[in-house]
Structure 1
């Protein structure tokens, strides 16, 4: 029997999230048998190539860069060609980030403002100048034109060391950004730290569960389920929240027990340290609070919570230390 394959184009498959998404699809043999994957080497500046491949794809999953507007435009141009040539409506799953929700608390207070992915009006009121917002609006506008169905996934603090065949063969990056950066910074200053008092909130999600949200959305859309897209197509990836002090506190305890910190008590980053370690940014002091109501409503079932995120800090420290010993 001839099985019609769905052509899927994943950008960023060597990265943390993109690699996890590809690994999640390939791990499910029933799912993998329906899709066609071929390695492509290139960059986001290879615009003609991106447009050409997108024009031959049923699904594009964009995981490489939430802010690269030109590559996003090239992908949409290719998907529009696909629609005009085949008469079908291809799918774009774009990776944004919950940083679009951030305030300027500087770590000094927690916010009562909570965003819901089920509240399209609330999301639509976000100012165009916020992080990732210009690309998000470009994606929604394309859906409005009708030639593509778009879904925007907004991962929160993604944690956990990725695993699987793609990690084993060295194809993908196994580490996230936020917690490893804080580990390296704390090792260098010999004390865990945070922006301000660390009273600000951030959401969190495990890498495997973030990857599964992409699968859920793709399968639902391809099967014809009536799930929200375009303006109603924002999907948060979160399953708990934490204050940044909680991360600093656990990190300080772990490092002190390992005799890698002079004290278990974290301290605020100085202005000089923010410049040295974070290019002057105080993004780790912002409040980002959200609830993934729409994501759960379509069948996404994350189960790991904030305690699992905190428990992931020690393995991150061990991984970084092992890498240091090898160099």
Structure 2
């Protein structure tokens, strides 16, 4: 029976790490479950019920939620710093999926230490979750404009630009972990294979047993409520790719399916091209802001008037807002489509904004009185 180890019920690492870097007073909530992880787990069990799946979770409460929904899943109470546990579990796994903190290199080192001890003599696979934060310019020198810098204006293709992707600057977001993933200990175990899945902005409702929603659009609406009206950062011309969480989960399932085949199937692994961007379109944050404002106005949550704000004004509303809504991150997922036949089919992001507005409205109470 194929053994799968899933790590990722921790907080959303990329966002929190940047918040700590640029907003030292931000308090990280380390027990925020990852919306992607639960969806991957749900889909794997639906597609391959005979898989033996173990999931690393931070608390007994989260473990109980998972085992109630999926009794066959073995839960491991540990965190990403539990190196001995991760090494032990990784040494026995056939496929390891990380969807946890994309800026925590320690757990990848532990995974590789464990994979190095695997004695099966057959290929073993790491499917790691990074993010297109590796592509953005975090200087905010021209935040809110369509053109910020050479790196942020470029649309990166995961086939045509693979050499440039492997050699992105070490200071880019997530690169501290990506560089570790790109250096497996093949001298200790030549059977190690890896793929890096690199999604952009993830939207939509997932199907996991714990957290089912991402936070970026709700956070934007909360900032609007705090401001009393909708706003754009500058002209709002900056762009970002996007993908529905269920379409993204499809890609993980496809990679697992290929890993179950001889020699890794149709997928490319490791230095031969193991990078998979996962976009299914893009949006301008200004367009998103205007649509959210329109929906909120129709429901009496906001006035119809909008305004343009600068970086410092947005930072007062949300410490990380300029980095969330004021940068470009542009990618093209050629590899998943050409190699694996990945075909996203869920609704576009604009079709989910109404639900996002209502999610925040319920969270904050009766917004009509604000």
Q: TM-score, normalised by structure 1?
A: 0.88
- Residue 33 in structure 1 maps to residue 50 in structure 2: yes
Q: Using the alignment, how far apart are the partners of 2:317 and 2:226 within structure 1?
A: 11
User: How far apart, in 2, do the equivalents of 1:50 and 1:112 lie?
Assistant: 38
User: For residues 323 and 98 of structure 2, what CA distance do their matches in structure 1 show?
Assistant: 27
CA distance in 1, matches of 2:112, 2:222: 38
Verify: 1:21 aligned to 2:65, yes or no: no
Per the alignment, residue 245 of structure 2 pairs with: 207
Please tell me whether the aligned partners of residues 94 and 150 of structure 1 are also in contact (alpha carbons under 8 angstroms): yes
Q: CA deviation at 1:101?
A: 0.7
Among 293, 302, 313, the residue aligned to 1:252 = 293
Tell me, yes or no, if structure 1 residue 303 matches structure 2 residue 350.
no
Say which of 202, 205, 211 aligns to 1:161: 205
- The superposition leaves residues 199-245 of structure 1 with CA deviations (integer Å, 9 ceiling, x where unpaired) of 01100100100111101011112213142112311101110011111
Please tell me whether the aligned partners of residues 7 and 59 of structure 1 are also in contact (alpha carbons under 8 angstroms).
yes
Which residues in structure 2 correspond to 1:182-261 (within 5 Å)? Answer: 182-224=220-262, 225-231=265-271, 232-261=273-302
CA distance in 2, matches of 1:52, 1:276: 44
Residue 141 of structure 1: aligned partner = 183
CA distance in 1, matches of 2:249, 2:342: 11
Structure 1 unaligned segments of length 5 or more: list them.
none
Would you say the 8 A contact 1:204–1:238 is kept in 2? yes
Alignment pair present for 1:102 and 2:142: no
- Alignment CA distance shift 1:152-1:176 (3 Å): same
Please name the residue that 1:65 is paired with. Answer: 101
Aligned residue number for residue 90 of structure 1 = 124
C-alpha change, 1:266 and 1:304, in structure 2 (3 Å) is: farther
Q: CA RMSD in A?
A: 2.0
Q: Is the deviation greater in 295-304 or in 17-26? A: 295-304
1:323 aligns with 2:363: yes
- What residue in structure 2 maps to residue 178 of structure 1? 216
- Superposed CA deviations along residues 130-151 of structure 1, whole A, max 9, x for unmatched, are 0001211111111765341100
The residue aligned with 2:22 is none
Normalized against structure 2, the TM-score is what? 0.78
Unaligned runs of 5+ in 2: 10-32, 54-72
Question: Any runs of at least 4 consecutive aligned residues in structure 1 with deviations exceeding 6 A, and if so which?
Answer: none
Question: Does the CA-based 8 Å contact 1:253-1:264 persist in structure 2?
Answer: no
1:242-265 superposed Cα distances (whole Å, 9 cap, x missing partner):
111111010110111112112243
Shift, 1:281, TM fit: 4.8
Q: Secondary structure at the match of 1:151?
A: strand
Tell me which moved more, 105-114 or 229-238.
105-114
User: 8 Å contact 1:114–1:290 — kept in the other structure?
Assistant: yes
- CA distance in structure 1 between the aligned counterparts of 2:204 and 2:284, rounded to whole angstroms: 18
| Larger mean Cα displacement after TM superposition, 290-299 or 264-273 | 264-273
For 1:322 and 1:280, how far apart are their aligned partners in 2? 22
